[in-house]
Amino acid sequence: MHQSPPKSLDLKPFELVLGAANIISAASLSTATFPTAVQIPAVLRPGSVSEVQECLRLAASHDIRLHPISTGMNWGYGSAVPYADSTLLLDLGRMNRILDYDDRLGYVVIEPGVTQQQLYDFLQEKGGRYWMDATGSSPSCSIIGNTLERGFGHTPLSDHFANSCSYQVVLATGEVIETGLGALTGSASRNVFRWGVGPFIDGLFSQSRLGVVTRMTIWLMPAPEAFLPFFFRCGAPDALPPLVETLRDLRMNGILQSAVHIVNDYRVLAGIQQYPWQETHGETPLGPLVLAVLRKRDGFGAWNGSGALYGPKKMVRTMQKLLSRTLRPKVDSLNFASERLLSFAKSHSAILSPFAGMNLDKTLGLIAPSIDLLRGRPSNHALRSIYWRKKRPIPGLPDPNSDRCGLLWSAPVCSADGESAAKLDQIVRDTLLPGGFEPFVSFTLATPRALICVVSIIYDRDIIGEDDRAMTVNRTLNERLLAAGFPPYRLGVQSMEFWDKHQKLKALSNLETSLDPKVLLSPGHYGLS
């Protein structure tokens, strides 16, 4: 990474501000988990808000485009790669301070470089009185980066954007603004109330390119007196619709108070092992027949769910009873995993397997990281599944970009009704399998009435032709989904073009004329160009 950048671009003015050591080559950062066309000339690494301001002012006066990243681990959506060519990365990773922590009101104030692991460790050091939410992505992912992409996790704080406020933003002009009540006061009010006074503008800086967010308040939850993860599975593929309806009603009625996650059999398998080359005699994609055998062998269902109950012990006990009564008739198995039970199962898996009807060694390996996420503890586990089609073992330190793992994510939104979920799932199967890829599907009940579906196309970039095929299938998928009424909740750099096809979205783009008139921040990002 520390090679010097290409000479064509004059980076001298930036050197004066940041020092030569903080302007680095970016060759490796031009690689994502799918083909990308742009080259990144260099990476600027400001260490403070005033350095960010200086970088933006210099960029404006020299007509240089910048793409801000926090840690650049936007896996499946383009990693650190910008949409437009000749764009410098503005890497905010050095700004990684936790600036404030309030242990009565439950919030932290952080900079963009603060990672999931860093905040988790910090809260543990403070005695673990508060929990954060974590995504299934790397522990070294930025919290602010994920929040601005409106990512989600698994606890009651699942909706990251909804649980953030009071941004400090450097505009393309170099001007610093504060959003929310931060524009008015330095008191605690700024950290506890999101909307501010006057127009609420935080949203303008999410899934956007209209400013560089350099500070944010993140809300936490008190460590609950009781935490009870639960896992369920359904053998039959057509169990999905009633399952979705039941979970929606549980959430609408307040029995469930956090996101529930349902994954199909393909997703479970990729979490347990790499592609079964032997069983399939080297053929891809993995068809339903072999999958059914593996499902039986390892004891997972066509649909497999996880969630947790949080709260005072007595409430969790009551919720457990109500959940049990309502959900059990809709599933083939439902297990509540107290931590005590889990540690017992770990040491007795061989004995328990026949009773539980599943391969406990394997499924415990899957359940343990799920439990981590359900309590907001980041885990590297999900990253491992990106090596699904790789013919060599998963490395100890996964690096999907340089290991040439293929991963393309599409993330359609679907109303939480059974018919819609089944229809969406069918479109994914009908598009991916004939295209040569396994239909990896997860549905997250992200709100009481909405499912966010994440579809992964996972492949091996070292196999010639696969990149093209994957990109084509991904594009077809997005078009079919939208035509059927399932728009994306988020776009990757591979899908930004999507925007141009939808004239109705164009109206939003006018906003940018006042905020970044020269279009220097991440041109094309979310269609704002």
Give, as ranges, the residues between 255 and 284 that touch a copy of itself (CB under 8 A): 255, 257
The only residue of 482, 518, 519, 529 in contact with a copy of itself, by rule CB under 8 A:
482
How many residues at the interface with a copy of itself, by CB under 8 A?
Answer: 98
Continuous H helices in 19-156: 49-61, 116-125, 143-148
Q: Does residue number 185 form part of the binding site for a copy of itself (CB under 8 A)?
A: yes
Cα angle at 470 between 464 and 476, to 5 degrees?
A: 145
Cβ 251 to a copy of itself, closest distance in Å?
10
Cβ 235 to a copy of itself, closest distance in Å?
26
Contact 263, 369 (CB under 8 A): no
Residues 231-260 that bind a copy of itself (CB under 8 A): 245, 248-249, 252-255, 257
Omega of the bond leading into 288 within 30 degrees of 0 (cis) = no
The only residue of 239, 240, 414, 493 in contact with a copy of itself, by rule CB under 8 A:
414
List of E strands, 240-302: 261-264
Residues 295-354 that bind a copy of itself (CB under 8 A): 310-312, 314-315, 317-319, 321-322
Q: How many CA atoms lie within 13 A of 420 on its CB side?
A: 21
The only residue of 189, 273, 274, 380 in contact with a copy of itself, by rule CB under 8 A:
189
Task: Report the alpha-carbon distance of residue 524 to residue 529 in Å, rounded.
Answer: 5
β-strand partners of 130: 222
Task: Report the alpha-carbon distance of residue 357 to residue 509 in Å, rounded.
Answer: 54
Of 43 and 201, which CB lies nearer to a copy of itself in the complex structure? 201
Of 59 and 181, which CB lies nearer to a copy of itself in the complex structure? 181
Q: Does residue number 49 form part of the binding site for a copy of itself (CB under 8 A)?
A: no
Cβ 422 to a copy of itself, closest distance in Å?
14
Of 23 and 428, which CB lies nearer to a copy of itself in the complex structure? 428
HEC readout, 190-242: HHHCCCCCCCCCHHHHCCCCCCEEEEEEEECEECCCEEEEEEEEECCHHHHHH
For 149: left if phi > 0, alpha if psi spans -120 to 50, otherwise beta; the answer is alpha
Task: Report the alpha-carbon distance of residue 86 to residue 176 in Å, rounded.
Answer: 25
Cβ 336 to a copy of itself, closest distance in Å?
17
The only residue of 484, 497, 518, 519 in contact with a copy of itself, by rule CB under 8 A:
484
Task: Report the alpha-carbon distance of residue 392 to residue 410 in Å, rounded.
Answer: 26
Task: Report the alpha-carbon distance of residue 138 to residue 118 in Å, rounded.
Answer: 12
The only residue of 10, 85, 100, 175 in contact with a copy of itself, by rule CB under 8 A:
175
The only residue of 198, 354, 396, 465 in contact with a copy of itself, by rule CB under 8 A:
198
The only residue of 44, 84, 201, 270 in contact with a copy of itself, by rule CB under 8 A:
201
Of 22 and 207, which CB lies nearer to a copy of itself in the complex structure? 207
Which two structure tokens, joined as six digits, stand for 384?
Answer: 């491992």
Task: Report the alpha-carbon distance of residue 422 to residue 185 in Å, rounded.
Answer: 49
Q: Does residue number 208 form part of the binding site for a copy of itself (CB under 8 A)?
A: yes
The only residue of 10, 62, 124, 200 in contact with a copy of itself, by rule CB under 8 A:
200
The only residue of 15, 463, 487, 497 in contact with a copy of itself, by rule CB under 8 A:
487
Cβ 364 to a copy of itself, closest distance in Å?
29
Which segment (8-16, 177-185, 292-300, 368-376) binds a copy of itself by CB under 8 A? 177-185
Report the SS3 class of residue 159. Answer: strand
Cβ 412 to a copy of itself, closest distance in Å?
8
Quick note: the x/- pattern for a copy of itself over 426-465, rule CB under 8 A, is --------------------xxxxx-x-------------
The only residue of 41, 93, 229, 488 in contact with a copy of itself, by rule CB under 8 A:
488
DSSP state letter for 152: B
Residues 143-172 that bind a copy of itself (CB under 8 A): 150, 156, 161-162, 171
Which of 73, 229, 261, 245 lies closest to 152 in space, CA to CA?
261
Cα 448 to Cα 131, 246, 247, 265: the distances in Å are 22, 11, 9, 24
Quick note: the x/- pattern for a copy of itself over 96-135, rule CB under 8 A, is --------xxxx----------------------------
Which two structure tokens, joined as six digits, stand for 238?
Answer: 């057509």
Contact 416, 244 (CB under 8 A): yes
Of 200 and 344, which CB lies nearer to a copy of itself in the complex structure? 200
Q: Concatenate the DSSP letters of all residues of 178-194 into one string.
A: E-GGGGT-SSTHHHH-S
Of 210 and 366, which CB lies nearer to a copy of itself in the complex structure? 210
Residues 498-527 that bind a copy of itself (CB under 8 A): 499, 502, 504-505, 507-508, 510-515, 526-527
Which of 520, 512, 454, 522 lies closest to 488 in space, CA to CA?
454
